[in-house]
Structure 1
């Protein structure tokens, strides 16, 4: 336990430091100038401060006021030593932040008793601080475990949808990372970028409710079949909506609205412009680009330049212009993501990839 002794008399400082040596596990530091002690306290944390009242440039009460303004010293016990036993002075000292008093001449027995009491108070403070830190660490661990389980659940939901869809697992990883890249370029908070990375793979989860003869049909869908296919947006929303998880809530939002178009010609609600959730506008760009540039059993992959032209032509019509601009801002990062996650990778982790 570290104790500061502040007194303009060297004899008093030496005497009090000698007395403090009698207390087990207690070390002391003496200061003749309160200003010097304050400078020390800016970078260090004492456990107890003994301060004289009568000092030439800054008295004990003024010292306490400055001391209490140092953030990490707001609760450190302070024992004021004074030859003045006026009640008004004590009130002023208490108001400034003093915890206890000693009257000069200092009685050795009383000094040791009061000092030990103050150190015991500080010891309990430190215990509670350590306990609070420990609890915060445990809460963080538990939160991370919950997050990990939530992420695993999301991945399994995405794989369930993926198992019925001809699109590969690499597709959902690429489009999720593209989505995160767009969110980053739009300068969204990092927490939102991370949430989009995790929620984007759920965009087509509603396809688990689409019959195989429609979902896996190699040719063009009839109008009736396409009407059924479009239901996957509402089905995905129904699966994910109502969760207490913010990530699943965003997943529900994306599932419902990622087929909306900026000019209002999309489905299922015919939303337009900023009425379409931003997360869905972001995913629409990422999803379409990867779908166009990926080879499937029923189609060949488009060339990169052709897909980029498609996005540019659809800017303001199909896609949010800001999202398209953000996606194309530094295309080398897009190509890096595309190269990083190839079709032949069996088990790619989405979270924390970008």
Structure 2
């Protein structure tokens, strides 16, 4: 009974004698509020603490019970409060109308105390069950959000750790993974407005592509040091071995997919860019000699980003080119090395790529990063 006293019931009736009877019946068990009009009901229902149950007279002047119930259901703050209609009407059509617009039950007048108490208890128990389920669902949703955020962080950290592993094997790449990741995101975002790419480059895909971009050279961990770290041009035989890094990276990701026995979207995109970012629009690239639209969109974007950054970066076997020199080389590769529309988008937004390159420039030799 002490627990019940925390439960609030609102009685709405324009006849004071009906309010007195019901209040006297319910007050020993519950906290009871009263209103003599539809407008008063709405005001009390919106106040705090909100009633847990409303006993609502149907026949009232100015605003009848049906109108009040409709207004209660319109308001998100009151739509979940169960309502029991109080009525002297015996017409089943009136009862059906009330149930259709959301009444929980009907109690006929003159009231029978035992019946009122039983109906009130039933509706309160049902509400408590719904509230408990709602709280459980909210807790479950919060836990799902927490775990998804945690998985998101784990995924990002794992990708970055693997990319850094490749970078450790090839220290000259420096901030290459950060720059190419920035280029990829910028280019993909620009291309999403193009009719050729709009169906593919939605927010989800751009996010997956941006996350996966750092893995494009993960296969270099399988290249022997005497080739990967050679301070000079590679021989034709060495170059053939170096080119296998694309296949090695894709195979490693594919094996990871087999190990977990499921396909993950970001691994699918990572496998595409790892295997095919050295393919060329005219079919002269490697490892599979794909051409044109046969090359996945992800790999075409990665190819342009990777080449541009390689051109403006210093290596032991070559000096860094100026951004303008690199721009000309990319422009000349339009329709041969690169997708023509991607080159157009890159050139139209060229300053943004220079800013990304400057933001993630490699530290000077001997200067801490």
Q: TM-score range by the shorter chain?
A: 0.7 to 0.9
| Structure 1 residues 229 and 3: alpha-carbon distance in aligned structure 2, compared to 1, 3 A threshold | farther
Aligned partner of 1:163 in structure 2 is 168
Aligned partner of 1:270 in structure 2 is 289
Correspondence list, 1:1-354, <5 A:
7=13, 9=14, 11=16, 15=20, 22=27, 26=31, 28=33, 30=35, 32-33=37-38, 37=42, 47-55=52-60, 60-61=65-66, 64=69, 76-107=81-112, 110-187=115-192, 188-241=201-254, 243=257, 244-344=263-363
Segments of structure 1 that go 5 or more residues without pairing to the other structure are: 349-354
| Structure 1 residues 319 and 6: alpha-carbon distance in aligned structure 2, compared to 1, 3 A threshold | farther
Q: Render the CA deviation track for 1:185-233: whole Å, top value 9, x for unaligned.
A: 2233333222222100110111122222222223333333222222211
Comparing 109-118 with 273-282, greater Cα deviation is found at 109-118
TM-score by length of 2: 0.79
| Structure 1 residues 319 and 16: alpha-carbon distance in aligned structure 2, compared to 1, 3 A threshold | farther
Shift of the alpha carbon at 1:82? 0.9
Q: Render the CA deviation track for 1:46-101: whole Å, top value 9, x for unaligned.
A: 64343333356775456656755667766542211110234454344334432211
Aligned length: 344
| Structure 1 residues 12 and 70: alpha-carbon distance in aligned structure 2, compared to 1, 3 A threshold | farther
User: Conserved in 1, the CA contact under 8 Å of 2:38 and 2:68?
Assistant: no
- Measure the CA separation in 2 of the matches of 1:208 and 1:97: 65
- Measure the CA separation in 2 of the matches of 1:225 and 1:16: 98
User: Conserved in 2, the CA contact under 8 Å of 1:13 and 1:30?
Assistant: no
TM-score by length of 1: 0.82
- Measure the CA separation in 1 of the matches of 2:64 and 2:127: 24
Shift of the alpha carbon at 1:112? 4.7
| Structure 1 residues 311 and 64: alpha-carbon distance in aligned structure 2, compared to 1, 3 A threshold | same
Shift of the alpha carbon at 1:282? 1.1
- Measure the CA separation in 2 of the matches of 1:154 and 1:252: 13
- Measure the CA separation in 2 of the matches of 1:261 and 1:249: 20
- Measure the CA separation in 1 of the matches of 2:96 and 2:294: 62
Aligned partner of 2:197 in structure 1 is none
User: Conserved in 2, the CA contact under 8 Å of 1:169 and 1:347?
Assistant: no
Shift of the alpha carbon at 1:146? 2.2
Determine helix, strand or coil for the equivalent of 1:220.
coil
Segments of structure 2 that go 5 or more residues without pairing to the other structure are: 1-6, 193-200, 258-262
Comparing 47-56 with 334-343, greater Cα deviation is found at 47-56
User: Conserved in 2, the CA contact under 8 Å of 1:31 and 1:37?
Assistant: no
